[in-house]
Structure 1
Amino acid sequence: MSATAADSAVTASTDPAGGADFASLSPRTGAELARYAVHDGDHVRATVRAAGEAAAWWDGLGFAGRRTRLAAWRKVLARQLDRVARVVADETGKPFDDARLEVVLTIDHLDWASGNAAKVLGRKSVSPGLLMANQAASVAYRPLGVVGVIGPWNYPIFTPMGSIAYALAAGNTVVFKPSELTPGVAHELARTLAEAVPEVGRYPLLSVVTGFGATGAELCRAPGVGKIAFTGSAATGRRVMAACAENLVPVLMECGGKDPLIVDADADLDAAADAAVWGGMSNAGQTCVGVERVYVVETVAGRFLEKVRAAASKLQVGSASNEGDLGPMTMPSQTAIVRRHVTEALSAGGRAIVGGADSVHDDGTISPVVIADVPEDSVAVTEETFGPLVVVNRVPDVDEAVRRANATGYGLGATVFSAKRGDEIAARLRCGMVSINGVISFAGIPSLPFGGVGESGFGRIHGADGLREFTRAQSVARQRFALPVAVTSFRRTAKTMQALVGVVRARHGR
C-alpha cells in the first residue's frame, strides 16, 4: 500500500546527511534504532549481477523445489512473527498488534503464492485450431530473472511482499530497496529467508540495498533487472518509469488513491460507520486503500454521522509510553499535508464532526478528524491525505455517490455498503478493487489481484495475475505430423492456396 509521502524511498537524490550510512529512527521517541549503509551504484550493480547468477539456480529447482523452500520460509516467519512485527512497529510507530496483523497477512500471501505457482504458471496445452491441426500448442510462463522491488514505509512488509513472494514463487530472484524509514524490516525478511533456505549463502534469492533516492534510481537503471515493482505516488512513478525506460525495463506501478466509501439507504449503518472509522483511521490513516471520502445517501446521513462521531471519538492516539489506537505519523513531514487538508476543508465550509485543526499536533501525532459537507473541489476531497482524516458528504442518491466517487484521476479501491445493490454499485465504480459490506477485505484475500487504474497505477500484485506479472509468456508450437499440402513453404502452389481460401470462406464467411 502506498502514499504520496512514501516517495522519500526514491525521490531524494543524495543522502541528506552526506554520509556513508544513515540511521533508522523511532517515530514514537526519535531514538536511533540502527544504522544502515547508503549503497551506491557500484554496489547495486554488483548485487543485481549476483542475483542474476542465483536466478538460474532458483529457476532450475522448478515449482516443487521452490515451493519446499518458500514453505520453510513461511514457517520461520510464523515462528518468529512477534520478532518481525516488533521491528515493523518500532520503525513505523504503528501499534504492535497492527504490525502483527501485517505479518499474518504476509505469511498467508506467501503460502498462496508458493502453493499456486505451478497451477497458474506451468505449461498448458491450448487448441491449435482447425488450420493448424497438425500442431501441438502450449504456453508456459517463464521467470524474468531479477525483479527489483522499491517498497514503501507505511506497510513495509505486507506491501513489498505482494511483489517479493510472488516474484520468488514464479522463479525470479529479488533485489529489494526499502524506504529509508524502514530498512530494518527489509533486513528481517532477508534474515528469515536465509535462516529457512541454507543455499541462500551461495545463491542470494532476496538481496537488500539501502539508501535514499539515488539508490532506488540505480536499481531502476542496473543492467540485468527484468522488472521494477514500485510503490509510491504517480509523480514519482513517472520518474521511475523514465529511469526504467533507458533499458526498456517494464514496471509495475502501485501509486496510491483517494478511496471512496458509499453508504446506500438500506445499508447496515453500524457496520458502515465502523468500516469508515477503521478504514480511515487505522495505521493513522496511512493506507492507500484506506477510506478518505464517504458518500452517504441523505435519508440516512444524520444517523450515520452520529455513529461515526461516536466511534471516532473513542480512539486514542499513542505516545512514547502508550501505543493507543493510532500511532504517530511515520514520516513527521506528513503532518503538514494533513494540517493543510483539514484547514482548507473547514475554511471552505466543512463541518467538524470530530476533531479539527488542533488535532494535528507538533509531536507528529494526529487525533482523528471527521469533517462533513466539504466542497468537492477541496484538496481534502481531491488529493490523497494519508492521515486520519475522513470526509463525509451527503448525496441525494446512489447515482450521485457513484458519479462523485468516479470523479477523480485515482482508481485504486472502494467500499460499498448496501443490503441489496452492492454488486450493482461495485460494477459501476472505476477502480481496481471493491469491498462490499466490509472494508479493505480484498487486500487480505491472496487469490484476488490488487492494483489500480489511472493515477493509481497499473499492473497487479496478488493472485494469479500477480504471479503472471513477474513472468513472460512463452508459446510453443510443435509439429505432430506434416500436412499433405505445404502452406508455409515456397513449395506452396496457387492451387493449394485456392483450396485454403475456400476452406476459410466456407467456415467463416457465411
Structure 2
Amino acid sequence: MPFRPVYSLLLKPPLRSLSPSVSFYRMASSQAAARFGLKDSSLIKTQGLIDGKWLDAKDGSTILVTNPATNEELGTIPEMGLAETKEAIDAAAKAFPSWSKTTAKARHDILMKFYALMNEHHEDLSRIITLENGKTLAEGKGENTYSASFMEWFAEEALRTYGEQIPSPLPGVRNVVIKQPVGVVAILTPWNFPSAMITRKLGAALAAGCTTVIKPPPETPFSALALAELARRAGVPDGVINMVTTEKNVRDVGKEMCESKIVKKVSFTGSTPVAKLLAGMAATTLKKVSFEAGGNAPFIVFDDADLDEAIAGAVICKFRSSGQTCVCANRIYVHSGIYAEFASRLAEKVASFKVGNGLEESTTHGPLIHGRAVEKVSRHIDDAVSKGAQILVGGKAVPNSNFFNPTILSDVPADALLNQEETFGPLAALVKFETEDEVIKLANATDVGLAGYFFSRDVGRAWRVAEKLEVGMVGINTGLLSQSVIPFGGIKESGLGREGGHGIAEYMNEKLMVFGGI
C-alpha cells in the first residue's frame, strides 16, 4: 500500500524541492492564502511551528504543494530537517512539565474551545481539505465534522482518566493505581485524511497531558497547519504543539522522532512496511508505539443479503474518497446465486458517477493524490485482466491528469495482484464464492487485518462470521465504521494499539503506588 502513507517517501527520491529567497518566500505565503479563497485567510500558514513561532527552514528551502485536481500551485512549505526536528522535540520537552500539570478540566475546556473553532471555521477548513487532497467538498465537510468530533470526544475523555484502588491481601497495605501522561509524543500522519488523522491522535495526546511534535504529509500540509493555528487561538500553550514539515528529509526526521530518548511515544498511520521500519527505530528506546498500518478489507455479500443495502454499502465503502481510505473494501466477494444481479446493479450505479474537480457541485468523485497512485490502479487492472478478469465499467485513467474513472472488474481470479495488495483507488474487484467456509478462508488469506464487512440477514451467521473474520473491525450490514467513539485499529500486520474510543490510554502510563503502615 505505498500510496497512502506519508512515509512512502522513505523509499523514493523527493519529487519537489525549491530554494527561494526569504523575500520570495514571504510573497509566496500571501499568494498561497489568496489561492485558497477563504473567509479567514490567516488560517493558511506556510511555515512550520516550533515553540509557538512560525518558522522557515534554516536553509530557506521549500516544498511545492499542488492541487491534485488541477496540478496548480497552492503554495510552499518549509523543507525542514534534523536540526528543526531536534528543536521541536526540545520545545515539546520544555512545555511538558507545565502542560502535564494542568487539570483535566482545564484541558477539557481548551479542547472544547478548539472544537468550537473547528465548527466556526467549518467552511474554510473543508475547502482547504478539498483543495489540497482533491476529495469533493461534500467529503471535505464530512471530514472536518469527523475531525472536530475527536476534539469533543477527547475533551470529555480527559475527565475520565480514572485510577483505581486494588484491595491488598496483605494487612496494612493499600494499592493505588494512577494514570500519568507519557511525555513528548511524535505524530506522523498520511494525506488521505489530512485533518482527521491528526485530531484522532492529537486530541488524545492533549487530553492526556502530553506535548507533541507532528510531521504532516508534504502532499496535504495546510490542513495540519490550520489546525495548529486554531489550537493557538484555543489557548494551547507554546511548545505543546510543534509541526515539522519535510519531504526529502523524511528519513532523518522520522529516525529522530523514533530514536530520540526525549520522545516517549510514536503514533503513526501509514503502510505496513513503513510501520515495521518505524517500530525497529522506536525499539532502540523501547518507547510506546501505536501504528495504524495497511489494510486489505474483504467485503462479503451472502445470498440472503438485502441487495439494496449491500450495493449502497459497497458504493460508500469502496468509492468514498475515490477509494483512498484505509478501510475501503479491497476484495468484494459475492455469492454465486446473486452475483450477476449484484454486479449489474453495482455497475449501473458506478456508471453514473461524475469524476472532476471537488469544488464543482456536480462532481461525485475527485482525483487520486498523484500520478503514482494512478499508475498503481492501472497496474492492478492490467494484471487482473491479463489473468481473465472482465471490465464492467471504467478501466481507464483520464489522460494527463490524476483522475481515474471508477472501475468494476468481474470474474477476478484469486491470484490477481489486487487480492494481495491494497489498491487504494476507485477499483472494485468482484469475486464469486459458493460457501460460507470458503469465503471466510478467502477473506482471511492475507497478512493484514484492519477492517472487514459482510451483508446477511441471518442473525446466527452475523455472529459467526463476525467472530471468524481476522480483522480488528467488522461492519455488519453497513459500509461505514469510522466514529470518534469506537476503538479504531487492526490486528496481524495492520498495526498496534487503538485510536478513538478509549485511545487516551495509549498516551498514558499506569503507576502503582503501594502504601504500607496503614
| Counterpart residue identity of residue 476, structure 1 | M
**Structure 1 residue ranges (4+ consecutive) displaced by more than 6 angstroms after TM superposition:** none
The alignment yields a C-alpha RMSD, in angstroms, of 2.0
Distance between the aligned counterparts of 1:370 and 1:451, measured in 2?
Answer: 28
Question: Aligned with 1:469: secondary structure?
Answer: helix
Which residue is 2:34 aligned to? none
1:26-65, Cα deviation, whole Å (9 max, x unpaired): 1111121111111121111111111112121111112111
> What residue is the counterpart of 1:36 in the other structure?
77
Q: Following superposition of structure 1 onto structure 2, how do residues 174-323 of structure 1 map, counting pairs within 5 Å? A: 174-197=212-235, 200=237, 203-212=238-247, 213-214=250-251, 215-319=253-357, 322=360
1:475 aligns with 2:512: yes
Residue number in structure 1 paired with 2:129: 88
Q: Which residue of 2 aligns with 1:327?
A: 366
Q: Tell whether the 8 Å contact from 2:316 to 2:480 is kept in structure 1 after alignment.
A: no
Tell me, in whole angstroms, the C-alpha distance in 1 between the residues paired with 2:6 and 2:349: 28
Between 17-26 and 88-97, report the one with greater CA deviation: 17-26
Which residue type is aligned with residue 478 of structure 1? F
Report Cα offsets for 1:361-398 as digits up to 9, x if no partner.
43110111111121112111110100000111111022
Could you give the per-residue CA deviations for residues 43-95 of structure 1, whole angstroms, max 9, x where no partner exists?
Answer: 11111111112121111112111001111111111101111111111110111
| Deviation of 1:25 (Å) | 0.9
- 2:469 is matched with which residue? 429
Q: Is the 8 A contact 1:349 1:374 kept in 2?
A: yes
Aligned to 2:35: none
Give 3-state SS (helix, strand or coil) of 1:447's partner. coil
In the alignment, the residues of structure 2 paired with residue 317 and residue 90 of structure 1 have an alpha-carbon distance, to the nearest angstrom, of: 15
Which letter does structure 2 place at the counterpart of 1:396? E
Equivalent residue, structure 1, for 2:37: none
Alpha-carbon spacing, 1:2–1:65, altered in 2? closer, same or farther (3 Å): farther
From 39, 58, 66, the counterpart of 2:107:
66
- Distance 1:61-1:436 versus aligned 2 partners, 3 A rule: same
CA distance change for structure 1 residues 470 and 5 in 2, over 3 Å: closer, same or farther?
Answer: closer
Aligned AA (2:167)? S
CA distance in structure 2 between the aligned counterparts of 1:449 and 1:43, rounded to whole angstroms:
33
Q: CA deviation at 1:5?
A: 5.3
In the TM superposition, what is the alpha-carbon distance from 1:23 to its structure 2 partner? Answer: 1.4
Q: Which amino acid aligns with 1:43?
A: E
Question: What is the rounded CA distance, in whole Å, between the counterparts of 1:9 and 1:337 in structure 2?
Answer: 16
Q: CA deviation at 1:133?
A: 4.6
Q: Find the aligned partners of 2:346 and 2:489 in 1 and give their Cα distance.
A: 28
Q: Could you tell me how far apart the structure 2 residues matched to 1:62 and 1:10 are?
A: 39
Unaligned 5+ runs, structure 1: 482-510
CA distance in 2, matches of 1:78, 1:289: 26
What is the identity percentage for the equivalent residue pairs of Structure 1 and Structure 2? 29
Q: Partner residue of 2:149?
A: 108
Q: Is the 8 A contact 2:134 2:357 kept in 1?
A: no
Q: How high is the TM-score relative to the length of structure 2?
A: 0.87
Per-residue CA deviations over 1:128-177 (Å, capped at 9, x if unaligned) read: 2xx32532222222111111110000111112221111111111111110
**Do the aligned partners of 1:63 and 1:117 also contact (CA within 8 Å) in 2?**
yes
Tell me the residue number matched to 2:24: none
Q: What amino acid maps onto 1:205 in structure 2? A: V
Deviation of 1:447 (Å): 2.5
Equivalences for residues 303-452 of structure 1 within 5 A? 303-319=341-357, 322=360, 324-356=363-395, 358-359=396-397, 361-420=399-458, 421-441=461-481, 443-444=482-483, 446-452=484-490
What residue number does 1:17 align with? 17
2: CA distance, partners of 1:435 / 1:91: 30
CA contact (8 A) 2:132 2:222 kept: yes
CA deviations on 1:310-362 (whole Å, 9 max, x unpaired) are: 21111111148736111111122111111000111111111222222x24643
What is the CA distance between 1:10 and its match in structure 2? 4.8
**SS state of the match for residue 146, structure 2?**
helix
Q: What letter is aligned with 2:80?
A: H
Distance 1:334 1:428, change over 3 A: same
Evaluate the alpha carbon distance shift between residue 321 and residue 238 of structure 1 in structure 2; reply closer, same or farther with a 3 A threshold: closer
Count of aligned pairs: 471
Q: Is the CA contact (8 Å cut-off) linking 1:15 and 1:211 kept in structure 2?
A: no
CA distance in structure 2 between the aligned counterparts of 1:5 and 1:307, rounded to whole angstroms = 33
Change in 2 beyond 3 A, CA 1:5/1:57? closer
Whether the 8 Å CA contact 1:257–1:411 is kept in 2: the answer is yes
Q: Is the 8 A contact 1:45 1:223 kept in 2?
A: no
* Alignment partner of 2:182 out of 141, 144, 151: 144
2 CA distance for matches of 1:134 and 1:306?
73
Distance in 1 separating the partners of 2:475 and 2:152? 23
